């Protein structure tokens, strides 16, 4: 069977033009998907490291159990904890996120997403400064200048350039790549940089200074600057500002080069300010290159449910948000979290080593389709269906556009939403003093 216009569930591009072919054995082709999307869509079979049965750790070994036993054990762990953490959420649909917030309320947990180790600083920056945004459709149809800052879509979002940005063709951009100026600013010459018209290499950790210098030039105060800013000549920066001002519609895309480097949310704050100031001269927008396909969605759900987009503490009776205090890494580093439910994420791989050591000291419940390093330190492992391949639901593209993910094949395992609901109901049945 052929299914047209399937939405890819790998990265924040949410490409919605994938042609998926299935037969009795599962998905056999994903036409139109990039290498990342293909690996996700085709990687659903049992030979791809899928967890087959729920497991509970007994005498140091993971032992297979029935689903209800795993739900009850998970509920007891969360209910007994004083400071449970519910973490992950980037690779599942918004229907599961809603259940997650309900579970956080039920057990008085902190709920946090993988945004805190990727674009969390962008979220904070946007809260401080606001964001001059646009949809990817507007960029495709109108942008004649694309600036990639600290991001490498050629490897992290492989279809971004062709579908939405530098190489796309649209209503007012019929010439595609030929009609656009593409600039890359990075600390290394990435694959994306090699495709640009202009590559500006900056020293690591100097994004804030360079953006500030551009803002000064834009404000007509170039004379304040020295001849060189962080290894770049002043002339080069003046030229760059000139190019930016001459654009009809400029689009700045930024990645973890800004959020993971020295300055973190202040880098974003500064880039957002630059974009706002460019709008005094021409039209400019800015957008974070969101990584996992629905990391933007968990931010939306948490914001509409509790008022805050990540790191929300439900232990006080009312939602409380203070990243640095309530973010997963900080809670674990302080040895404050005393139990964790990990869903649709792999913190054992993606947290700094000392924080993984803290996670290994507490009871861990993992909900995931695949075995990964978090499985190695989990006490309860609950296999789920793959959201966006085996389960339908809502996901938010990197520009905030909600799209409906399709169920392409029938699942063997329950969905994230069903699992979370069962754990919540089991927790509710337990006495309060448990």
Partner 1 sequence: MVVSVKAIMISGRTLGQGAACEAKMSPDYFREASSCSLSQADLRGLGISPGENLEVTSEHGTVILTPQEDRGLDPGLIFIPMGPWANCLVGPDTSGCGTPQYKGVHVEVKVTTFPVLAIRELFGRFGGTRT
Residues 129-148 that bind partner 1 (CB under 8 A): none
Select from 17-25, 96-104, 149-157, 295-303 the region that touches partner 1 (CB under 8 A): 149-157
Instruction: Using the rule CB under 8 A, give the single segment among 30-38, 159-167, 214-222, 414-422 that binds partner 1.
Output: 30-38
Strands 228-229 and 232-233: antiparallel
278 versus 313: smaller Cβ distance to partner 1: 313
- Given 21, 66, 228, 357, the residue binding partner 1 (CB under 8 A): 357
Q: Which of 10, 208, 254, 293 binds partner 1 (CB under 8 A)?
A: 10
- The answer to whether residues 153 and 139 touch, using CB atoms and an 8 Å cutoff, is no
Nearer to partner 1, 3 or 261 (CB): 261
Distance CA 200, CA 203 (A): 10
The residue range among 16-24, 117-125, 211-219, 271-279 that interacts with partner 1, by the rule CB under 8 A, is: 117-125
Candidate list 264, 397, 406, 407; residue touching partner 1; CB under 8 A: 264
> At its nearest, how many Å lie between partner 1 and the CB of residue 318?
20
Q: Which is nearer to partner 1, 250 or 263 (CB)?
A: 263
Q: Does 267 bind partner 1 (CB under 8 A)?
A: no
Report, in Å, the least distance between residue 433 CB and partner 1: 23
Q: Which is nearer to partner 1, 44 or 79 (CB)?
A: 44
Question: Of 14, 104, 117, 342, which lies in the binding site for partner 1, with binding defined by CB under 8 A?
Answer: 117
- Confirm if 388 and 93 have CB atoms less than 8 A apart: yes
Separation between Cα atoms, residue 341 and residue 343, nearest integer Å: 7
367, 69 contact by CB (below 8 A) = no
Compute the least distance from the CB of residue 10 to partner 1, in Å.
Answer: 8
Which residues 6+ apart lie within 8 Å of 250 measured at CB? 143, 144, 145, 146, 147, 244, 278, 282, 283, 284, 285
Question: Would you state the structure tokens that stand for residue 393, as one six-digit string?
Answer: 């639901």
CA–centroid distance for 393 within its chain: 17
Of 64-72, 318-326, 335-343, 415-423, which segment contacts partner 1 by CB under 8 A?
318-326
Per-residue x/- mask for partner 1, residues 293 to 312, rule CB under 8 A? -----------------xx-
Does residue 360 touch partner 1 according to CB under 8 A? Answer: yes
Residue 334 CB, shortest distance to partner 1, in Å, is 9
Q: Which of residues 71-110 bind partner 1 (CB under 8 A)?
A: none
Q: What span, in angstroms and rounded, lies between the C-alpha atoms of 337 and 339?
A: 6
Asked if 311 and 110 touch (Cβ cutoff 8 Å), the reply is: yes
Residue list 220-259, contact with partner 1 (CB under 8 A): 256-257, 259
Residues 370-389 that bind partner 1 (CB under 8 A): 370-373, 376-379
Cβ nearer to partner 1, comparing 138 with 326: 326
Examine residue 432 and tell whether it contacts partner 1 (CB under 8 A).
no
Is the CB of 173 or the CB of 206 nearer to partner 1?
Answer: 206
3-state SS assignment for residue 302: helix
Beta strands in 169-217 (DSSP E): 181-186, 198-201
Q: In what order do the strands lie in the sheet with 145-149?
A: 198-201, 181-186, 145-149, 249-254, 283-288
Residues 204-223 that bind partner 1 (CB under 8 A): 204-205
Asked if 61 interacts with partner 1 (CB under 8 A), we say yes
CB of 388 to partner 1, least distance (A): 12
What distance in Å separates the CA atoms of residue 189 and residue 201, rounded to the nearest whole number? 7
Determine which helix (DSSP H) or strand (DSSP E) holds 4, and give its type and residue range: strand 2-6
Check binding of 265 to partner 1 (CB under 8 A): yes
Cα dihedral value 290, 293, 296, 300, nearest 10: 170
Residue whose CB is less far from partner 1, 134 or 270:
270
CB of 262 to partner 1, least distance (A): 5
Residue of 134, 340, 348, 385 interacting with partner 1 (CB under 8 A)? 348
* Distance, CA of 408 to CA of 390 (rounded, Å): 6
Whole-number Å distance between alpha carbons of 195 and 187: 16
Asked if 126 and 229 touch (Cβ cutoff 8 Å), the reply is no
- CB of 238: closest distance to partner 1 in angstroms? 24
Alpha helix segments (H runs only) across 28-170: 35-42, 67-80, 94-107, 120-129, 136-142, 153-156, 160-163
Helix 416-429 with 67-80: angle, nearest 10 deg: 60
């Amino acid at each position: 069977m052929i299914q047209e216009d399937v939405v890819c569930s790998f990265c924040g591009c949410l490409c919605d033009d994938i042609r998926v072919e299935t037969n009795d054995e599962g998905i056999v082709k994903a036409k139109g998907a990039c290498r990342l999307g293909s690996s996700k869509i085709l990687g659903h079979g049992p030979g791809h490291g899928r967890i087959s049965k729920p497991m509970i750790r007994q005498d140091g070994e993971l032992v297979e159990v029935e689903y209800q036993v795993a739900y009850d054990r998970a509920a007891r762990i969360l209910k007994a904890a004083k400071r449970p953490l519910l973490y992950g959420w980037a690779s599942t649909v918004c229907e599961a996120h809603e259940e997650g917030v309900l579970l956080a309320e039920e057990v008085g947990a902190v709920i946090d997403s993988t945004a805190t180790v990727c674009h969390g600083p962008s979220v904070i920056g946007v809260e401080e400064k606001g964001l001059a945004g646009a949809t990817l459709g507007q960029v495709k149809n109108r942008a004649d200048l694309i600036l990639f800052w600290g991001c490498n879509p050629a490897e992290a979002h492989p279809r971004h350039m062709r579908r939405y940005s530098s190489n796309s063709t649209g209503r007012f951009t019929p010439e595609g790549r030929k009609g656009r100026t593409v600039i890359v600013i990075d600390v290394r010459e990435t694959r994306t940089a090699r495709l640009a018209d202009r590559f500006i290499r900056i020293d690591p950790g100097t994004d804030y200074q360079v953006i500030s210098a551009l803002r000064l030039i834009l404000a007509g105060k170039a004379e304040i600057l020295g001849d060189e800013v962080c290894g770049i000549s002043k002339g080069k920066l003046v030229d760059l500002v000139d190019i930016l001002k001459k654009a009809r519609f400029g689009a700045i895309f930024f990645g973890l080069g800004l959020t993971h480097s020295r300055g973190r949310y202040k880098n974003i704050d500064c880039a957002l300010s630059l974009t706002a100031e460019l709008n005094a001269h021409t039209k400019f927008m800015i957008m974070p290159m969101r990584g996992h396909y629905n990391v933007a969605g968990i931010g939306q759900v948490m914001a509409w449910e509790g008022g805050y987009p990540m790191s929300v503490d439900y232990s006080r009776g009312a939602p409380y948000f203070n990243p640095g205090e309530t973010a997963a890494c900080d809670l674990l580093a302080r040895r404050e979290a005393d139990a964790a439910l990990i869903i649709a994420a792999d913190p054992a791989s993606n947290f700094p080593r000392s924080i993984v050591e803290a996670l290994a000291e507490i009871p861990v419940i993992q909900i995931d389709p695949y075995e990964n390093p978090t499985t190695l330190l989990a006490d309860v492992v609950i296999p789920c269906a793959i959201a966006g391949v085996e389960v339908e639901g809502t996901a938010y593209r990197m520009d905030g556009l909600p799209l409906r993910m399709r169920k392409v094949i029938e699942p063997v395992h329950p969905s994230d939403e069903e699992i979370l609901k069962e754990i919540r109901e089991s927790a509710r049945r337990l006495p309060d003093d448990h």
